[in-house]
Amino acid sequence: MRSPEIVEFELTTACNYSCIHCYCNAGKRSISELTTDEAKKVIKDLYDAGVKIIDFIGGEPLIRKDIFELIAYGKKLGITMMINTNASLASKEVVSRLKDVDPELLVGVSLDGHVKEIHEFVRGSGTFEKTMKGLENFLAQEFNVTILHVINRINYKYFEEMVKFAKKLNVNLYVDRFVPVGRGELYKDILIPDKEMIKYVNKVIEKYKDTVNFIVEENISGGECTAGRKHASILVDGTVVPCGHFRYDREYYMGNIKEKSFEEIWNSFNPEKLFIQCNNCELFNKCHGGCRAFAHKLGLSYDPIFCEVK
Ligand SMILES: C[S@@+](CC[C@H](N)C(=O)[O-])C[C@H]1O[C@@H](n2cnc3c(N)ncnc32)[C@H](O)[C@@H]1O
Ligand code: SF4
Ligand code: SF4
């Protein structure tokens, strides 16, 4: 049986931020949000399918009152638990409760710029200070922290400063690329980075790779897309998709966790489906097909950042 390395689990679409790039258009709580018992059932189901890492995402996962209970449940099963957060609700008290339930919890804090102006361009006024306070609270409790940084058309210029900032804080740096989905689609003209910008980001990564612990998404590195091969995302209503960026594309839905087991859903999906447009292209081994969600969202058969033909 093949299992994904990591599954993202969207616990809520409720959020106290309103970031312009947000692929899930977060804000309001969905009426389809799973209850505590339903969410626990999903965690157990993922465990039974051999999933090693569960990443709680949202919306803002710290909004859920049962977040501690859900993390504790996964931890008890022996799963490596992870959370992606804007950190604004990560008060000293919340962080210390998280430490109590899972001292090894992997914490991803979203930061879209190393200074207020760049971060708040995407995340809105007053968000930089709140996020930084939360991040400091996580560091004070010695959590393993990763800054989640999404490259866009504006912040790419300051990427070297962002890297130095992560280095100073001694945290890992996850580098991802903006994909025009959800609310982000409305702002695509001002947010989509071009080929030269991504080349620049990769140059900076190369320069600092021995001193900073980077985790580089394949939509930046140009590696082969792992959607439906090494990871999957469970949306707020239980729908399973190969990557969260396919959330509005029914043709890529893998199934619903309320109806079938994760193992059944995962094993019946053929990830080759995402690469149909690249079939028979002799340059595939060079370009690897780029970001399949990006190509799809732009109505293209190729990702212009990596495609070697166009
Ligand atoms: C949807 S958020 C949920 C967790 C939490 N609210 C946060 O902001 O970290 C998860 C991650 O997706 C990123 N993200 C949101 N919209 C995106 C988009 N259109 N393209 C790429 N990444 C995006 C966010 O910046 C964040 O790092
Ligand atoms: S990216 Fe995260 S913080 Fe921003 S609106 Fe979306 S869910 Fe909320
Ligand atoms: S579709 Fe794009 S963002 Fe999603 S896993 Fe593939 S390369 Fe990464």
Q: How far is CA 83 from CA 53, 67, 90, 244, 267, in A?
A: 10, 10, 12, 15, 26
Q: Is the Cβ atom of 226 under 6 angstroms away from ligand 3?
A: yes
Does ligand 3 lie within 6 Å of residue 24's CB atom?
Answer: no
- The number of residues in the chain equals 310
- 136's CB contacts (< 8 A; 6+ apart) are none
Would you state the structure tokens that stand for residue 201, as one six-digit string? 């980001």
Identify the residue whose tokens are 């940084």. 149
- What is the predicted pLDDT for the residue at 39? 98
User: Which ligand 3 atom is nearest residue 176's CA?
Assistant: 3
* Bridge-based pairing state of the strands 255-256 and 239-241: antiparallel
Per-residue pLDDT, averaged over 81-91, amounts to 98
Ligand nearest to the CA of 11: 1
What band does 67 get if pLDDT is binned at 50, 70 and 90? very high
pLDDT, one tens digit per residue, over 111-158 is: 999 999 999 999 999 999 999 999 999 999 999 999 999 999 999 999
What is the rounded average pLDDT of the residues 44-56?
A: 97
Residue 184 CB less than 6 A away from ligand 1: yes
Cα 65 from Cα 54, distance rounded (Å):
18
Residue-level pLDDT at 286: 82
- Binned at pLDDT 50, 70 and 90, residue 78 comes out as very high
Flag whether pLDDT at 310 surpasses 80: no
Residue 24, ligand 1, Cβ within 6 A: yes
Q: Ligand 2 centre from 86 Cα, in Å?
A: 7
Where residue 268 falls among pLDDT bands split at 50, 70, 90?
very high
pTM: 0.97
Pocket residue to mutate for ligand 1, from 150, 154, 297, 303, most atoms within 8 A of Cβ: 150
pLDDT single digits (tens) 220-263: 999 989 999 999 999 999 999 999 999 999 999 999 999 999 99
| Ligand 1 pocket, residue 63 CB under 6 Å | no
Ligand 2 atom with minimal separation from the 13 CA: 7
State residue 168's pLDDT score. 97
For ligand 3, mutation pick of 217, 224, 247, 273 (most atoms within 8 Å of CB) = 217
pLDDT-based confidence at residue 1 (cuts at 50, 70, 90): low
Strands (E), the chain: 6-10, 53-57, 80-85, 106-110, 144-151, 172-177, 214-216, 231-234, 239-241, 255-256
CA of 283 to the centre of ligand 1 (A): 31
Which one of 18, 110, 146 would you pick to mutate in the ligand 1 pocket, going by the greatest count of ligand atoms within 8 A of its CB? 110
Residues 22-42: tens digit of each pLDDT: 999 999 999 999 999 999 999
Q: Is the CB of 292 under 6 A from ligand 3?
A: yes
